[in-house]
């Protein structure tokens, strides 16, 4: 079912789009009128998603293999997406990675660097190489996916906490730079708590594979007493991608069921 055209005529690039939050965002933006370039290291996944979107809304979705930690691949993907869509007005830096809970004495440089490259360096590369095209669009929006873990720490999550906190602050820097230069490019961050996506797999493993039990445990610290759905995040991204949020930049949006209000 098509939406009401809240992002009609816009062109979006969404990283990490093969599943989870990225997939939900892709459907949401496409149904609301945008063309969508879907990127992921899982090429088969984004090709399948693009085919499904195009079956419903012909010709609006494009799929690309993309290691977001690679600058060369960012340059290539942005160029190909701009050519396919006729421009770029929305960048959603969604790709990210978590990992098993690990305390500082057991952590490794390899684990630390992996999370930094995928969660943080990718955001810088995306902003850097998309910016000329976003500026040229006339009115553009960058949405960076951070996390509640970027605002509130937890033991065993050192690299994830650190990278997501850095995404939060880097978002503000980009917002202020764009505003100072009169580029008409807004930049905001989104901070979900536990959402029903594969990133919860380590918690499910801790519950011996019992998904319902894991979700119940995670929901105990959330005032709304449940974990989130991917569309809870996608609706926020839709708002930030649209012109409805034309006076919103450098802000952080918590999608956490009231968790950080306690």
List phi, psi (to 5°) of 146.
-100, -135
CB 120 within 8 A of CB 41: no
CA of residue 151 relative to chain centroid, distance: 16
Instruction: Tell me the C-alpha distance between 25 and 30, whole Å.
Output: 8
Number of Cβ within 10 Å of residue 65's Cβ equals: 15
Residue at token pair 């306690």: 262
Which residues touch 202 (CB under 8 Å, ≥6 apart)?
A: 98, 99, 100, 101
Which residues touch 65 (CB under 8 Å, ≥6 apart)?
A: 39, 40, 41, 43, 46, 73
Vertex 153 angle, CA 152 and 157, to 5°: 135
Burial class (CB in 10 A: 0-12, 13-18, 19+), 88: buried
Give the residues across from 191 on adjacent strands: 254
**Which residues are identified as catalytic?**
160
For residue 14, give the 3-state DSSP assignment.
Answer: strand
Which residues touch 259 (CB under 8 Å, ≥6 apart)?
A: 148, 152, 193, 221, 222, 223
């Amino acid at each position: 079912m098509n939406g009401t055209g809240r992002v009609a005529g816009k062109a979006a690039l969404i990283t990490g789009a093969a599943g989870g939050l990225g997939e939900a965002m892709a459907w949401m933006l496409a149904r609301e009128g945008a063309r969508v370039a879907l990127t992921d290291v899982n090429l088969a996944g984004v090709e399948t998603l693009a085919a499904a979107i195009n079956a419903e809304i012909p010709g609006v979705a494009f799929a690309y293999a993309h290691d977001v930690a690679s600058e060369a691949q960012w340059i290539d993907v942005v160029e190909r997406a701009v050519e396919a869509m006729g421009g770029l007005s929305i960048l959603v830096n969604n790709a990210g990675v978590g990992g098993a809970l690990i305390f500082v004495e057991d952590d490794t440089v390899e684990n630390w660097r992996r999370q930094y490259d995928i969660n943080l360096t990718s955001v810088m590369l995306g902003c850097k190489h998309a910016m000329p095209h976003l500026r040229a669009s006339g009115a553009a929006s960058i949405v960076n996916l951070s996390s509640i873990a970027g605002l509130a720490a937890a033991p065993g999550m050192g690299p994830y906490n650190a990278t997501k906190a850095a995404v939060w602050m880097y978002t503000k820097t980009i917002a202020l730079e764009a505003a100072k230069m009169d580029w008409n490019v807004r930049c905001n961050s989104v901070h979900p708590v536990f959402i029903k996506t594969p990133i919860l797999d380590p918690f499910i493993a801790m519950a011996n594979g019992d998904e319902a039990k894991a979700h119940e445990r995670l929901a105990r610290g959330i005032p709304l007493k449940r974990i989130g759905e991917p569309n809870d995040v996608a609706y926020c991204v839709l708002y930030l991608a649209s012109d409805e949020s034309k006076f919103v930049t450098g802000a952080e949006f918590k999608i956490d069921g009231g968790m950080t209000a306690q």
